[in-house]
Structure 1
Amino acid sequence: MSGKVIYEVGTFDKYEEGFHAFFRCLSKERALFVLNIAKEIKSKTPEYIHTQTDDEFSRTVKLCEQLNKEFFERTGKKFDITMYEGDFYTIEMREVQLDN
């Protein structure tokens, strides 16, 4: 007899080759919903550039705060998704089989 499946959505750090789940549930549809929103918001996240002026940096921070708030409002999950911008991170979903 097989166990339940838990669906995890998380960040995959390509440099460290590590997966870190920020959302878990028993519904594949719900996990896919969160995954798609996370990918959408990640695609809107501005890249931080070290040569930004203070004003540019302030605008970047405000936009990131708005995107994190949007992620929470749409998913109910509080998570700073904008911390994972750039090519080092991907957003992925995994299935974990639990034994009874």
Structure 2
Amino acid sequence: QGCHYTSKTYRQLLWRFGIKQSLSRRGNCHDNAPTERFFRSFKTEWMPRSGYQSFAAGVEAINNYITGYFNRYRPHQFNKGLSPQKAEAEYFKTYNEVASFS
């Protein structure tokens, strides 16, 4: 919530481009932690240092990272080393087993 994010000039620029600003509550750094962690992983694991050749190439690469790698294969510490898809499958397997005993 620094002055550069709350300045009138900056907010007008966001408005002009149709960008909705999201600021967390003062003193609460945990609001954006999952998003910040995702972008850290993306930048260090996938994004080329020199950027992408074109906008379309960037869109394709980002889509491949999210749907092809991050969700399917990349292990996540929060999920006990499982990818999001595997963790979700395990959850629903357990949920269905528990539900069938009811």
TM-score, scaled to structure 2:
0.25
Query: Is the helix fraction higher in 1 or 2?
Result: 2
Give the TM-score, by structure 1 length: 0.26
| Largest Rg, 1 or 2 | 2
Quick check: which one's strand share is greater? 1
Q: Point out which structure has higher relative CO (alpha carbons under 8 A, 6+ apart).
A: 1
